[in-house]
Amino acid sequence: MPEMPEVQTLVDALNRVDLVGRRISGAAVYWPKTIAGMPPAVFSERITGCVLQAVTRRGKYLVFRLTRGLQLLLHLRMTGRLNWERRGSARSRHEHVILQFDNDFDLRFHDTRKFGRMTLTADPAAVLGKLGPEPLGERFTLRHFQRMLAGRSRVVKPLLLDQTFIAGLGNIYVDEALWQAGIHPRRISDTLSDREIAALHQAISRVLQKGLENLGTTLGGGEGNFYSVAGRRGRNADALNVFRRTGRPCPRCKTTIERLVVAQRASHVCPVCQPLP
């Protein structure tokens, strides 16, 4: 699933093409369930004629700010990506929504597993208002993180994956941050020491910054992996320390990395660097 670095990479790429300031001249929906909250015909009617004013991000959502007081919120889920194609080029069978712009280009939502969702709304806070702080935002200070953890007693990995707690973290970057901080994913949050909380806060920032610098994480060559606009691959897979490195030596202590399941999510740990008390 694309996480914050991948979504931000897409936002940056979309802001480099001739997209912002363009009028949407039409919309075609080939998989109705992609559109949340309204019939596809209503979606097409309401979005046609809108001008795209900005492309931003909140958590794992791409946010397209439109005229008429509307915003289009796109959650890529597991396999979603965006293609910027010249009008008339052949449509892939996995391109489920196509937005046509007035410069003869299309923005096409490609989603192999069909889990992605688009929400066209005049009230984005109804969706985005539930999200926790941005982990690279000014609000996410160590003191604020300490206050967020105070009084909570949850398994640390699913807590970090909870988008209402912190927005934008997913399986890849949580595993990497926990390894950086030396914390086992099954630790209970109220057992973390002040030193461990500070180490985790710093690790979250570091792994996300690295992911952004490397333009996201693309794993393998499957169609369901992350690709930026124009099919560009992220480079961050080479920088991963534990995620999907089962059986390989830990970069820090050379102990074999293990795979386990935590809250129904595959997790990757070094049993020496991340001991479970």
Catalytic residues: 2-3, 60, 265
With b for 16 or more beta-carbon neighbours within 10 A and e for fewer, the 116-148 pattern comes to bbbbbbeebeebbeebbbbbeeeebeeeebeeb
Task: Please tell me the distance from the alpha carbon of residue 196 to that of residue 201, in angstroms, as a whole number.
Answer: 9
Query: b/e per residue, 161-179, with b = 16+ CB within 10 A?
Result: beeebbbbbbbbbbbbbbb
Q: What is the distance between the alpha carbons of residues 44 and 277, in angstroms, rounded to a whole number?
A: 55
What are phi and psi for residue 262, nearest 5 degrees?
Answer: -125, 120
* Whole-angstrom distance, CA of residue 65 vs CA of residue 69: 8
